[in-house]
Amino acid sequence: MPLYFAYGSNMDRAAMARRCPASTVRGVGRLYRHRFVIMREGYASVVRDPAATVWGLVWDLALSDVPALDRYEGVAGGLYVKAQQPVATPEGVRRALVYLGRSQGGTPRPGYLQGVIAAGREAGLPEAYLRGLSGLLR
């Protein structure tokens, strides 16, 4: 199974269970040298930033779930592209699938960022990081 690093709405375990029923959570992970941003379309992405870290959940992604995840992320329509990035996992640094948004400079859709923060809190992400995400609501 490939590893997948979720930093936005796919940290929501219940939603992922519906979309990707054969995939399982491995634990909290970190994507170093990136920061969390909101795209023009109102969804999360990450961009390179040598001074920042993005926190999220690492999933063991079943190959049978990849097409559903690609559809959800709008890969065919160009909303996101897929990349392999080194991610700090509970077992050490591993390469993981990361979906990268193709735009920047937006504001979150109503309720979207609140859902990301709630999922991050449930996952046990650091409170200081979640407070930083809350700052994007202003």
Q: What angle do CA 113, 136, 56 make, to 5 degrees?
A: 55
CATH number at residue 12: 3.10.490.10
Answer whether residue 133 is part of any domain. Answer: no
Answer whether residue 58 is part of any domain. Answer: yes
pLDDT at position 136: 81
Domain enclosing residue 114, as ranges:
3-127
Of residues 114 and 104, more confidence is placed in 114
Summarize pLDDT for 46-103 with one digit per residue, the tens.
Answer: 999 999 999 999 999 999 999 999 999 999 999 999 999 999 998 999 999 999 999 9
Answer whether residue 31 is part of any domain. Answer: yes
Give how many domains the chain has, as a whole number.
1
pLDDT at position 1: 79
Instruction: Tell me the whole-structure pTM to 2 decimals.
Output: 0.95
